[in-house]
Amino acid sequence: MKVKDIVHLLDLTVYSGEQGLDREVTGGYVSDLLSDVMGRADTGQLWVTLQTHKNVMAIASLKDLSAVLLVNKQKPDANTAEQSNEEGIPILGTTMGAFEVTGKLYELIR
């Protein structure tokens, strides 16, 4: 499943990194501790978080994640969105909380 399919099925907002919407999503990871994501997330996963700092994109890029999904109406900081555009890794958004959106994601990509 591609990032754009998930955007469509879950009615997500695309904040930045549109050129990466064709990336393949191989799984998911949910965490707000960036140190934890750095250690445990895997290539191709979609990362669910409420953190919006620029370091989010540095780690998404380092781990070659497929996209970042911000929950609870969080929006990326300006320089975070900028880096997402440079890296081509989309930042998505939802009004749902992490529990709800993760449940739906799990059904889609397990």
Inter-residue contact 54 to 79 (CB < 8 Å): yes
Among residues 2 and 54, whose Cβ is nearest to other proteins? 54
Nearer to other proteins among residue 38 and residue 108 (C-beta): 38
Residue from 30, 34, 67, 81 touching other proteins (CB under 8 A): that is 34
Does the protein bind other proteins through residue 40 (CB under 8 A)?
no
**Residue 60 to residue 66: CA distance in whole angstroms:** 8
Closest distance to other proteins from the beta carbon of 16 (Å): 18
Neighbours of 22 (CB within 10 A): 13
- Count the site residues for other proteins by CB under 8 A: 14
Ranges within 75-94 binding other proteins (CB under 8 A):
77
Q: Distance between alpha carbon 57 and the CA centroid of its chain, in Å?
A: 9
The reply on whether position 54 binds other proteins by CB under 8 A is: yes
Q: CA 11, CA 42: separation in Å to the nearest integer? A: 25
**Which of 58, 109 has the CB closer to other proteins?**
58
Binding site for other proteins (CB under 8 A): 32-35, 37-38, 51-55, 58-59, 77
